[in-house]
Structure 1
Amino acid sequence: MALRGPRAWLWRWRRNPLKRRADVVESWVLLGAWAATVLVGVAVGLLTSGSVERGMARERAEWRPAQARLTQGTPGVPNGEQMWAKVSWTAPDGSHRTGQVRVSPGRAAGSAVTVWTDRAGRLVTAPATAAQARLRAALAGVLVGTGAAMVPFAGGRTLCGRLERQRIDQWAAEWARFGPMWGRTTG
């Protein structure tokens, strides 16, 4: 720590007589990799978030609640957990449909249950509210954006690792060439 001076910003681009061409290449590779990481992560995250939110908004617009009837009663359960039960309902095209939904225990056969259906009259889950959709879209955007950002980041790290190995091999070759000369004396 005693020999450490103040941190120099942008040290990779400063003039230095000892700087090699490989050092300049590495600095540009790092800059490009970081820029690509940020740009790819943000762009993919925003696109994913927008796509998820539009999809959920379309679900809210297209999915409709429908009245269904239990075809068989549900037994009363002491813990009160919802259970699967068969229901029947009429689809928008007038056809008679049946399916299974989760209902509270202790319901009698023939009691009314609200179910959600799509345009074709198939059972679907209740659509996400606008707040839930924003949260899900944001989480999906962050996760997918982070995953996409790993590609240029890993590529940059791999390329820098190769440059480092090349530099070490070059240094070893130079050391093998000039190292033996250090033991000689002139005279």
Structure 2
Amino acid sequence: MARGIPRAQPPPDAPDAPDDLPRFVLWRMRRNPLRRTTDLVQAWIALGLFLAVLAAAPAAMFLVGDTAYRHYTDLAEHQRQTRQRTAAVLVHDAPRHPEPGSREEEKTRYPVEVRFTDPTGRPRTGKTDVPPALPAGSTVDVWAATDGTITGPPLTTDQIRSRCMGWAIVSALAVAAAGAGAHGLACLLLRRRNLAAWDTAWAGTAPRWTTPT
């Protein structure tokens, strides 16, 4: 009597144990009858790019961070030499806030024209943000540049450090993105090669499936 068709078995569970994880992740490197040359190439490309990103990201962070630090340090020094904190006098009354005494009034600032002296000693006029309802003739501190414009204070040490860290993080992300893009491009090219190989194999196999015996 013919043997019955065996019952279908459920697929094996996904590897949960730590010992099975490397084999699951690096399955393309494992020897098996269905592994193609392109699978092995793709695995080595992925591993090489991963190691390259791990090595290049810290180097990029250091180089970019160091370059940014020197740039912003020189910029801060230039700002300290060309900017001066000086007293400015309001020319007009500052507008009143519609809700006096509110928390919004404490945070609101209005641009008002002021008179001040620039670092070269010349009298200037400009606009700066002041609290609401400040009367004309009041004195406020502003930072003035040598060209007579009102500007911000020179960069502080914390601001320089923050900007350098930001550029370092951006450089690391850029290296990771470049690695991911290179991997995606390699996978695309290998996939096209596989499709071409399948077309060639099918061209040789199809006649045996379609030609009557």
TM tier relative to shorter chain: 0.7 to 0.9
1:33 and 2:49 correspond: yes
What is the letter of the counterpart of residue 169 of structure 1? A
* Secondary structure of the corresponding residue to residue 27 of structure 1: helix
Q: Offset at 1:114? A: 0.9
TM-aligned CA deviation for residue 153 of structure 1: 1.8
How far 1:123 moved relative to its partner? Answer: 2.1
- The aligned counterpart of 1:125 is 152
Change (3 A) 1:39 1:102: farther
Is contact 1:37-1:150 (8 Å) kept?
Answer: no
Q: Aligned residues: percent identity?
A: 28
Sort the Cα spacing of 1:155 and 1:53 in 2 relative to 1 into closer, same or farther, 3 A. same
Query: Aligned equivalents of 1:161 and 1:139: distance in 2?
Result: 33
Instruction: Give the 3 Å change call, closer, same or farther, for CA 115–53 of structure 1 in structure 2.
Output: farther
- Give the superposition deviation at 1:180: 4.8
Query: Which residue of 1 is the match for residue 109 of structure 2?
Result: 82
Q: How does 1:14-53 map to 2 (within 5 A)?
A: 14=30, 19-53=35-69
Q: Which of 183, 187, 190 pairs up with 1:160?
A: 187
**C-alpha separation between the residues in 2 aligned to 1:103 and 1:172?**
74
Contact between 1:41 and 1:145, CA under 8 Å: does it hold in 2?
A: yes
* Aligned residues: CA RMSD: 3.4
CA distance in 1: counterparts of 2:47 and 2:119, whole angstroms: 58
Alpha carbons of 1:112 and 1:4: their partners in 2 closer, same or farther (altered >3 Å)?
closer
Note closer, same or farther for the CA distance 1:124–1:49 as it changes in structure 2 (3 Å cut).
Answer: farther
Contact 2:84 2:119 in 1 (8 A): no
Q: Of the two structures, which has the highest relative contact order with CA contacts closer than 8 Å and spacing of 6 or more?
A: 1
CA distance in 2, matches of 1:2, 1:13: 20
TM-score (norm 2): 0.66
| Distance (Å, rounded) in 2 between the aligned partners of 1:48 and 1:122 | 32
Pair 28,132 (structure 1): closer, same or farther in 2 beyond 3 Å: same
Equivalent residue in structure 2 for 1:2, among 5, 12, 15: 12
Report the AA paired with residue 33 of structure 1: L
One-letter amino acid of the counterpart of residue 166, structure 1: R
Kept in 1, the 8 Å contact 2:119–2:145? The answer is no
Q: SS of the residue aligned with 2:121?
A: coil
Distance 1:76 1:139, change over 3 A: same
Q: Deviations over 1:111-132 (max 9, x none)?
A: 2111123455532223454334
Deviation at 1:159, TM superposition (A): 2.0
- Compared CA separation, residues 3 and 146, structure 1 to 2 (3 A): closer
Judge conservation of contact 1:69–1:113 (CA < 8 Å) in 2: yes
1:73 aligns with 2:93: yes
Higher mean displacement: 146-155 or 42-51? 42-51
Shift of 1:20: 3.8
1:108 matched to 2:135? The reply is yes
Question: Bigger CA drift: 103-112 or 116-125?
Answer: 116-125
- Counterpart residue type for residue 86 of structure 1: E
The CA distance in 1 between the partners of 2:36 and 2:46, in whole Å, is: 16
